[in-house]
């Protein structure tokens, strides 16, 4: 399908996917920004709030597991549009439960709906992202993930302004939901129909059966890529959940200073992803993954050593740069083979989100016994394993040919 598009259509497709990633990040950060207010409105304890937030995890996992089958049948565009629309409905429901009705069960259900929508959308976005890479014949997925980070930043800023302006949760989240839906209505027409759908693949083989789609979980290359993504996503997720506390407890600094350190991490990761596509086209996936793992390892070692906050801040930056590439590059590698792309990208995405959802709580349990700084050794091990297995991301199939042609062209020039 992609080979039938002209350069302008591919360009518009690419722009639309940037916006889809940004919208997903914007919606997610909008919910996160209002969690303290919602907790206070519900009068929920930490344990009760944890169970309410579990609705998000449950919905996300269900969405991730369903996504590849939905994409294989209906295509990426349909699933992206449906996912963000369902996510907007869930966000509105959270606003109703967390503001107007003040009912925890409504918030739980809203988060489950929101998580399901965002879950299927995330897989579809990455399937579309790998398809755009093939069509444009260049690395783009790290840039798409940078757009997610930019959207998250805008969502956090919008949420902060809403809180300072005393805008009710329901009004704020309803506004975000409307922005998402209106944007989707405009953007969907820029995305080709049927990306990722088995009977739309540019190959002369029959579509995968349900059993074959499930069998990708047994493929050695997919498993290795999954482990790489698992280790690097664990490094990213543990920082998202624990870095401010790690810095505050480990270096005896104020909460504001801990938050600033987290800001350094996010900024470093966003910058890394923004320039990552050029690095990938110049040096290739394996070199970039090994270098990023090395950066993360050095950064983590600096933070764990606990010398001083100033030195630890350098480590945080290196950690952020290192964590920037594993998830998007792994997804790009999983999408090399057009046949079954939705199943493989879905499998690797699920593994990555498993690391995001399950890894940080495990780190908290370990940190309770040995301290969070020492608990980061587990993250260090995961990143080291990811670096050692990064050879699995070497391009195969059509993407290997595209990469070879790109290298030959540079040599000729």
Between 12 and 364, the more confident residue is 12
Instruction: Write the CA distances from 353 to 59, 77, 91, 233, 347, integer angstroms.
Output: 12, 21, 20, 8, 10
Task: Select from 404, 348, 388 the least CA-distant residue to 141.
Answer: 348
Asked if the model's pLDDT at residue 78 lies above 90, the reply is: yes
Among 147, 165, 196, the domain-final residue is: 196
* 280 and 372, same domain (yes or no): yes
* 361 and 261, same domain (yes or no): yes
Backbone angles phi, psi at 165, to 5 degrees: -90, 5
Q: What is the pLDDT of residue 412?
A: 41
What does the pLDDT look like over 23-42, one tens digit per residue? 998 998 888 888 888 888 89
Side-chain half-sphere of 238: how many Cα atoms within 13 Å? 31
* 360 and 387, same domain (yes or no): yes
* 101 and 229, same domain (yes or no): no
Q: What is the pLDDT of residue 47?
A: 75
Question: What is the count of structural domains for the chain?
Answer: 2
Between 48 and 220, the more confident residue is 220
What does the pLDDT look like over 255-291, one tens digit per residue? 778 878 888 888 898 899 889 888 998 999 999 999 9
Alpha helices in 35-140 (DSSP H): 35-42, 46-74, 76-95, 104-136
| Residues 152, 153, 157, 163, CA torsion sign | positive
Q: What is the pLDDT of residue 345?
A: 84
DSSP letters of 134-174?
Answer: HHHTS--HHHHHHHHHHHHHHHHHHHHHHHHTT--HHHHHH
| Residues 31, 354, 200, 277, CA torsion sign | positive
Q: What is the pLDDT of residue 69?
A: 85
* 253 and 147, same domain (yes or no): no
State the pLDDT confidence band at 313, using cuts at 50, 70 and 90.
very high
* 187 and 223, same domain (yes or no): no
Out of 180-184, 336-340, 346-350, the most confident range is 180-184
**13 close to 194: Cβ distance less than 8 angstroms:** no
Q: What is the pLDDT of residue 196?
A: 78
The whole-angstrom separation of Cα 355 and Cα 236 is 9
Asked if the model's pLDDT at residue 411 lies above 60, the reply is: no
Among 196, 230, 264, the domain-final residue is: 196
Whether residue 203 is contained in a domain is answered as: no
* 223 and 192, same domain (yes or no): no
pLDDT > 90: percent of the chain: 44
How many residues can be counted in the chain?
A: 413
Task: Select from 93, 104, 96, 126 the least CA-distant residue to 42.
Answer: 104
* 238 and 341, same domain (yes or no): yes
**Tokens 């606990």, residue located:** 306
What does the pLDDT look like over 45-64, one tens digit per residue? 867 887 888 888 889 889 98
For residue 369, what are the domain limits?
A: 214-412
What does the pLDDT look like over 126-140, one tens digit per residue? 889 988 988 888 888
What does the pLDDT look like over 369-382, one tens digit per residue? 888 898 899 999 99
Radius of gyration of the chain (CA): 21
- Say which CATH number the domain at 159 has: 1.20.1250.20
């Amino acid at each position: 399908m992609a080979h039938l598009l002209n350069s302008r259509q591919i360009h518009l497709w690419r722009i639309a996917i940037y916006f889809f990633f940004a919208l997903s990040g914007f919606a997610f950060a909008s919910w996160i920004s209002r969690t303290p207010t919602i907790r206070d409105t519900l009068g929920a304890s930490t344990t009760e709030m944890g169970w309410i937030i579990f609705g998000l995890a449950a919905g996300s996992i269900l969405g991730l597991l369903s996504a590849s089958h939905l994409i294989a049948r209906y295509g990426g565009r349909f699933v992206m549009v449906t996912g963000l629309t369902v996510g907007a409905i869930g966000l509105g429901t959270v606003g109703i439960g967390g503001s107007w009705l003040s009912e925890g069960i409504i918030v739980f259900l809203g988060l489950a709906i929101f998580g399901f929508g965002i879950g299927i959308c995330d897989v579809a976005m990455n399937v579309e992202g790998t398809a755009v890479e093939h069509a444009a014949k260049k690395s783009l997925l790290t840039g798409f993930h940078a757009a997610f980070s930019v959207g998250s930043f805008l969502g956090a800023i919008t949420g902060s302004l809403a809180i300072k302006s005393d805008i009710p949760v329901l009004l704020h989240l309803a506004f975000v939901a409307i922005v998402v839906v209106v944007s989707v209505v405009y953007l969907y027409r820029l995305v080709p129909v049927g990306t990722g759908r088995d009977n739309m693949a540019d190959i002369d083989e029959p579509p995968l059966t349900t059993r074959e789609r499930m069998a990708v979980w047994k493929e050695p290359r997919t498993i290795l890529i999954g482990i790489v993504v698992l280790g690097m996503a664990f490094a990213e997720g543990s920082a998202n959940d624990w870095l401010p506390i790690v810095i505050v407890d480990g270096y005896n600094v104020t909460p504001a200073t801990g938050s600033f350190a987290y800001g350094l991490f996010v900024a470093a990761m966003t910058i890394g992803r923004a320039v990552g596509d050029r690095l990938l086209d110049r040096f290739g996936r394996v070199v970039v993954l090994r270098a990023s793992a090395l950066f993360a390892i050095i950064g983590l070692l600096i933070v764990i050593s606990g010398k001083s906050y100033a030195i630890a801040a350098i480590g945080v930056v290196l950690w952020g740069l290192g964590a920037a590439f594993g998830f998007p590059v792994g997804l790009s590698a999983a999408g090399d083979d057009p046949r079954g792309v939705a199943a493989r990208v879905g499998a690797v995405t699920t593994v990555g989100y498993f690391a995001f959802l399950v890894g940080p709580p495990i780190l908290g349990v370990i940190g309770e016994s040995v301290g969070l700084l020492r608990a980061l050794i587990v993250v260090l091990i995961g990143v080291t394993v990811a670096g050692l297995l990064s050879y699995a991301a070497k391009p195969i199939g059509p993407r290997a040919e595209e990469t070879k042609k790109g290298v030959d062209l540079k040599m000729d020039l």
